[in-house]
Structure 1
Amino acid sequence: MSKPVKGTERAATGKAPVVVVAGGGTAGHIEPALALADAVMRLRPDAKVVALGTERGLENKLVPARGYPLELIPPVPLPRKPTPELIRLPLKVRDSVRKTREVLDRVGADVVVGFGGYVALPAYLAARGRVPIVVHEANKSAGLANKVGARFAARVAVAVPGTPLPNAEVVGIPLRRSITALDRAALRAEAREFFGLDPDAPTLLVFGGSQGAQSINSAVSGAAKDLADAGVGVLHAHGPKNTLVVQEFPGKPAYVPVPYLERMDLAYAAADVAICRSGAMTVAEVTSVGLPAVFVPLPIGNGEQATNARPAVDAGAALMVDDADLSPAKVAELVVPLVTDADRVAKMGAAAVGMGHREADETLARIVLEAARG
């Protein structure tokens, strides 16, 4: 009887590589993982990409929709700082690592790629000493999972310079080709028709991440009359767990509320300006497509969202407003004059172009495939 081919042996014999991506939880972790998966398949059409996730994560919706198999593992709650309990691997962590290791063995993983969060940590621990690991960190301040994974990773990729992880290589954030290749002007008419927006009115795109943001929802919807009076149309993604009731103003451009944006490419194409949070993925996308933005950093954590937004603000491509200062009056005072100033919008959009790493997906894919070859 022939021996089963281990992961690194499979890669060495030239057989199709098996790439396992761990990026569950929020869209900020999942979308870069899926962008990488797409790039791997472009470079190696014979490859197999498997995603790890948990029952409660957004990956249950996003991963199957993109055509990739999803393997579920128990989530591991992450403290903000290393603790003796984490180092001693409590029962919950051990159980998740054991089940993750079973998945890696069953699919024949050649490489594990982690993007941080509560799915990445058990993946790193399960792969350690068995399967090569590649870590990708989107934020300048690395999360705990990636700090752990980077200690024994074959390669460490980061989005921005100065990220304090060992042997870090700056590659940017992997983005979908539907975003990096987006021609907003060419798609504008189609996009506005798709969402039921006024074809000619200056248009504001509002979103607060995959789950929405209540402060942004309240401030912008509260300024609906000011926006309508200024002739501004609005596309507002308020989050699937939130509701948004907005007064209609006959004869004015439409204010269109939606729970979630399945087609972010069309949303970006329809808009002239965005008001949104400043997660690393969001900043990378809006600057990549040249969309001026008003960033409202999430007011919790270690301030990474403000750090994410700062380069775009300094380049003249965006404005930044503290969450505590956001109100309907602030929207009327700051956002309405911006959206209606075509020259200013054009200058800010031009400033955004070239800020990002448009080839980050394939750059990271090559790193991953090299690691899979051992």
Structure 2
Amino acid sequence: MSVVLAGGGSAGHTSPLIATADALRRTVPGIRLTAVGTERGLETRVVPAAGLPLELVPPVPLPRRPGRELIKVPGRLRGAVRRAKEILLEADADVVVGFGGYVAMPVYLAARGLKLPIVVHEQNVVPGLANKVAARFADRVAVSFPDTPLRGGEFVGLPVRRGITGLDRAARRADAARQFGLDPARPTLLVSGGSLGARSINTAVAGAREALLAQGIGILHVLGLKNITEADVQVDHESGASYVPVAYVDEMADAYAVADLMLCRSGAGTVVETSVLGLPALFVPLPHGNGEQERNADPVVSAGGAKLIRDADCTPETITRLVTELATDPGTLSRMGQAARSVLPGDADERVAQMVLDVARPGHDEQAAR
């Protein structure tokens, strides 16, 4: 059986793709998998690292305003669809599963033209354009959150790698702390704005760093690949707590294991992973776009597993106050963790993989030829 998985741009698209690919490999040993992305996305790094062959199509971004770039979209889309069709034929695909992003639309359209079964997975509460279009002709549509308004959507959760869902944070904490140069006996704040970083979060933490360290709170700060500079160095405070800045973490399980509290954006992947792990969070939704990040956070915040901070309110003073209140109160953190864990399913990888296998039609090319 041959499955083509399309999705890219950010970790929000690539992480569920990789998790689903892992579930397919566990379920059907020897299955042929091909990932499709663009040269602009994180997929050029993380997909090959996950052991998946990666094929590229030209990106077709949709401009937010009318103009010359918008006029070029139809021609670019035709070229991308043509390349996507070549990839599907070369892979002898039996089924396509898409996770959104620039790459998804041409792959969906190419699959439809070849009469291939299609499974769509939408990560956010507010669906993206490619998945909205594909949901109209897909065989199955899966969504991460129960209130996602997508035609035919089945609530299954967000596929997360087994290295995350099966993580024993307490058992791994000491080893993870040593890797990062942190003290496992001290409360630790994990800070991350996603794979690209978040300027407002980074700025607020820089301003709050001294006060938090003085309270004995360690900080693991994932700044983002493009944001770290030579000035970002480890700080060991006289309190015994340390500030450890890193550009990127390849194995987030280690970062989660060392953390007692997380300060982060509320992309679907982060919301689901912290929820499944029972890791209390302070969510700072991205203020741009269509508001999907705030809506992603709603279920966990409503359950008491996280708190919401508006981007405009993400100041050093706010971060100092909230982190100090929570990180130094183990009872509150425990209650928040239990609440977070009750919200979202942790087996979405297997559910989506089963959807893919249910609709796959091996031998479709031979049937079409006859």
What TM bracket, shorter-length normalisation? Answer: over 0.9
Q: Deviations over 1:217-258 (max 9, x none)?
A: 110121111111110001000001012636552343110000
Letter in 1 for 2:85: R
Once the two structures are superposed, residues 67-111 of structure 1 have per-residue CA deviations (whole angstroms, 9 ceiling, x without a partner) of 00000110111356999x989971110000001100100110111
* Corresponding position of 1:254: 242
Match of residue 207 from structure 2? 222
* Matching residue's letter, 2:35: A
Selected match of 2:153 from 168, 171, 182? 168
User: Which of these residues, 87, 94, 105, is aligned with residue 103 of structure 1?
Assistant: 87
What residue in structure 1 maps to residue 40 of structure 2? Answer: 56
Q: How does 1:260-279 map to 2 (within 5 A)?
A: 260-279=248-267
Choose which of 273, 277, 280 in structure 2 pairs with 1:289. Answer: 277
Residue number in structure 2 paired with 1:13: none
Contact 2:8–2:41, Cα closer than 8 Å, also in 1: yes
Q: Which residue of 1 aligns with 2:96?
A: 112
Deviation at 1:309, TM superposition (A): 0.7
1:204 is matched with which residue? 189
Distance 1:117 1:349, change over 3 A: same
Q: Distance between the aligned counterparts of 2:166 and 2:7, measured in 1? A: 23
- In structure 2, the residue matched to 1:338 is 326
Match of 1:3 in 2: none
Match of 2:51 among 67, 72, 80: 67
RMSD value over aligned CA atoms? 1.9
2:4 partner SS? strand
Q: Structure 2 unaligned runs (5+)?
A: 363-370
Aligned twin of 1:9: none
Secondary structure, counterpart of 2:80 in structure 1: helix
Distance (whole Å) between structure 1 residues aligned to residue 158 and residue 65 of structure 2: 24
Instruction: Tell me if the contact between 1:313 and 1:319 (Cα under 8 Å) persists in the aligned partners.
Output: yes
Given that 1:160 and 1:170 are in contact with CA atoms closer than 8 Å, whether structure 2 keeps it comes out as yes
Matched, 1:239 2:224: yes
| 1:45 has 2:29 as partner | yes
SS of the counterpart of 2:137? coil
1:306 paired residue number: 294
For the pair 1:159 / 2:144, whether they are aligned, the reply is yes
Conserved in 2, the CA contact under 8 Å of 1:132 and 1:371? yes
Which amino acid is 2:54 matched to? L
* 1:354 positional shift: 2.6
Residues 133-191 of structure 1: CA distance to partner in whole angstroms, max 9, x if unpaired?
Answer: 11101112111000111111111111122322222111110000011111101111111
In the superposition, the TM-score normalised over structure 1's length comes to 0.92
Select which of 113, 124, 131 maps to 1:139: 124
Pair 1:79–1:88, CA change in 2 (3 A): closer
CA contact (8 A) 1:78 1:144 kept: no
Aligned length: 357
* CA distance in structure 1 between the partners assigned to 2:158 and 2:71 by the alignment: 30
Give the C-alpha shift of residue 199 in structure 1. 2.1
Q: Is the 8 A contact 2:62 2:73 kept in 1?
A: no
8 Å CA contact 2:60, 2:73 repeated in 1? no
Q: Which position in structure 2 is the counterpart of 1:10?
A: none
8 Å Cα contact 2:135/2:150 also seen in 1: yes
CA distance 1:154–1:88, shift in 2 (3 Å): farther
Contact kept in structure 1, 2:213 and 2:239, CA below 8 Å: no
| Higher mean displacement: 291-300 or 87-96 | 87-96
Using structure 2 for the length normalisation, give the TM-score.
Answer: 0.93
C-alpha displacement of 1:46: 1.8
Q: Is the 2:214–2:239 Cα contact (8 Å) retained in structure 1?
A: no
Moved more, 246-255 or 115-124: 246-255
Distance 2:123 2:188 in 1: 29
Query: 1:257-307, CA deviations, whole angstroms, 9 ceiling, x for partnerless residues?
Result: 000011100100000000000011110000111100000000001111110
Q: Which amino acid aligns with 1:26?
A: S
CA distance in 2, matches of 1:96, 1:273: 42
Q: How many Å separate the matches in 1 of 2:274 and 2:327? A: 15
Please, which moves more after superposition, 244-253 or 28-37? 244-253
* Identical pairs, percent: 56
